[in-house]
Amino acid sequence: MDISTIGIVGAGQMGNGIAHVMALAGYSVTLSDVDQDALDKAVALIEKNLDRQVSREKISAEERDSALSRITATLDIAKAGATDLVIEAATEQEAVKHKIFESLAPHLLPHTILTSNTSSISITRLASRTDRPEKFLGFHFMNPVPVMQLVELIRGIATDKETYEACMAVVDRLGKTAASAEDFPAFIVNRILVPMINEAVYTLYEGVGNVRSIDLAMKLGANHPMGPLELADFIGLDTCLAIMNVLHDGLADTKYRPCPLLTKYVEAGWLGRKTKRGFYDYRGDEPVPTR
Ligand SMILES: CC(=O)CC(=O)SCCNC(=O)CCNC(=O)[C@H](O)C(C)(C)COP(=O)(O)OP(=O)(O)OC[C@H]1O[C@@H](n2cnc3c(N)ncnc32)[C@H](O)[C@@H]1OP(=O)(O)O
Ligand SMILES: NC(=O)C1=CN([C@@H]2O[C@H](COP(=O)(O)OP(=O)(O)OC[C@H]3O[C@@H](n4cnc5c(N)ncnc54)[C@H](OP(=O)(O)O)[C@@H]3O)[C@@H](O)[C@H]2O)C=CC1
């Protein structure tokens, strides 16, 4: 099946990155959100990131302009539904995602493939509430989308071969690499990465190190490009907590217990970079550790 139009639901940090790479690869993109402010910010950020690519001579000014002309931002979810491939990239809450797939249902074309960029939630369960579980796939990009090479593809129990192959062809056209994961809580990357981040928060909670020393230790001691707390702020602490809850509930093992300190930051609304405060405070010129 040939895919030329893409609908993205959710214009947060992942939605804007996915719109960016899809438009650059020549797809016609409809980006939707419930919030006009989120849409405006997403388009401005895409423009800024494309400009940076032009200034670093990764793309030409013409490629930037035609990519931008292929993106339509809208509050109308119906327009995102009437496309060849829908990628849901809204907040990591199962109820929110079910509601989005329900709202999309009347607007889908008969051949529309439905996917979710979820970090952790069961693809089989999301698919089972739609009219097309065989045309449903986990399409999991990594953050920042324009930079990261990997896309995890997760088949639900009913996903058919044609759907998987059509999405694999999209990954190829983006110049990215796919890894297949089975549909178990948090798939591959986050099953390994997010418990490590949670352990870093326990390390902070128990006073083994402070924010700076924990991040420094993992950057210089394990050659990670970002320390685990810096990375948690980058991902979003609400998303990290949601993933730990899916692992804890789905695998029923206490080793996935979310650290109470992570919960406390989320309860405070200190969600990391996106709210300008998390394990670091980003309101000044330089990030300042909050512990
Ligand atoms: C939670 C989930 O479900 C799954 C996940 O995504 S988990 C998170 C996975 N991601 C990671 O682990 C990221 C870890 N961090 C890194 O790899 C690096 O710190 C990084 C790539 C983000 C930045 O690298 P860096 O060397 O410190 O920064 P910098 O030199 O400024 O940037 C490198 C390139 O990335 C680009 N870049 C950096 N941040 C970007 C962003 N947010 N958006 C777009 N492009 C970005 C820069 O423009 C630069 O591009 P060029 O090479 O074309 O010049
Ligand atoms: N952050 C990361 O590193 C990664 C995240 N993911 C996954 O991608 C998805 C999005 O994450 P991310 O972009 O970080 O989250 P963000 O919080 O940055 O963005 C989520 C966006 O979805 C919007 N939204 C909420 N409800 C709806 C709705 N009903 N309809 C349309 N839009 C809605 C939010 O609007 P508002 O702000 O108004 O609520 C917000 O603009 C999640 O499933 C996450 O797990 C996957 C890979 C990496």
Which atom of ligand 1 is least distant from the CA of 236? 1
Ligand minimally distant from the alpha carbon of residue 272: 2
What gap in Å lies between CA 85 and CA 165, rounded to an integer?
13
Tell whether the model's pLDDT for residue 221 goes beyond 90: yes
272 marked ligand binding residue: no
119 marked ligand binding residue: yes
- Indicate the pTM of the whole model: 0.97
147-167 as b/e: b if 16+ CB within 10 A: eeeebbbbbbeebeeebbebb
State the virtual CA torsion across 54, 233, 22, 28 in degrees, nearest 10.
-100
Cβ atoms of 23 and 70 closer than 8 Å:
yes
Query: Catalytic residue at 248?
Result: no
Give, using CA atoms, the residue closest to atom 4 of ligand 1: 142
What is the pLDDT, as a whole number, of residue 179? 98
At 181, the pLDDT band (50, 70, 90 cuts) reads very high
List CB contacts of 289: < 8 A, sequence separation 6 or more.
Answer: 210, 211, 212, 279, 280, 281
Pocket, ligand 2, Cβ cutoff 6 A: 9-15, 33-35, 38, 89-92, 96, 99-100, 117-119, 141-143, 235-236, 239, 274
SS3 of 195, please? helix
What is the pLDDT, as a whole number, of residue 111? 98
What is the pLDDT, as a whole number, of residue 142? 98
What is the pLDDT, as a whole number, of residue 189? 98
Tens digit of each residue's pLDDT (9 = 90 or more) over 69-113: 999 999 999 999 999 999 999 999 999 999 999 999 999 999 999
What is the pLDDT, as a whole number, of residue 287? 98
* Tokens found for residue 194: 């997010």
For residues 149-166, average pLDDT: 98
List CB contacts of 219: < 8 A, sequence separation 6 or more.
Answer: 225, 226, 227
**Separation of CA 46 and ligand 1 centre (Å):** 15
Q: Is 159 in the pocket of ligand 1 (CB under 6 A)?
A: no
Query: Catalytic residue at 140?
Result: yes
Cβ atoms of 42 and 15 closer than 8 Å:
yes
- Choose among 269, 272, 190, 187: nearest CA to 229: 272
Query: Catalytic residue at 152?
Result: yes
11 marked ligand binding residue: yes
Would the CA dihedral through 197, 238, 187, 8 be positive or negative?
negative
For residues 279-287, average pLDDT: 98
Taking phi first (over 0 means left), then psi (-120 to 50 degrees means alpha), and beta for anything else, what does residue 41 get?
alpha
Instruction: Kindly name the residue from 119, 120, 122, 198 that is annotated as catalytic.
Output: 119
What is the pLDDT, as a whole number, of residue 1? 82
What is the 8-class DSSP label of residue 154?
E
- Choose among 77, 68, 6, 62: nearest CA to 42: 68
Tokens 């990290």 found at: 240
What is the pLDDT, as a whole number, of residue 278? 98
* Cβ neighbours, 10 Å, residue 1: 13
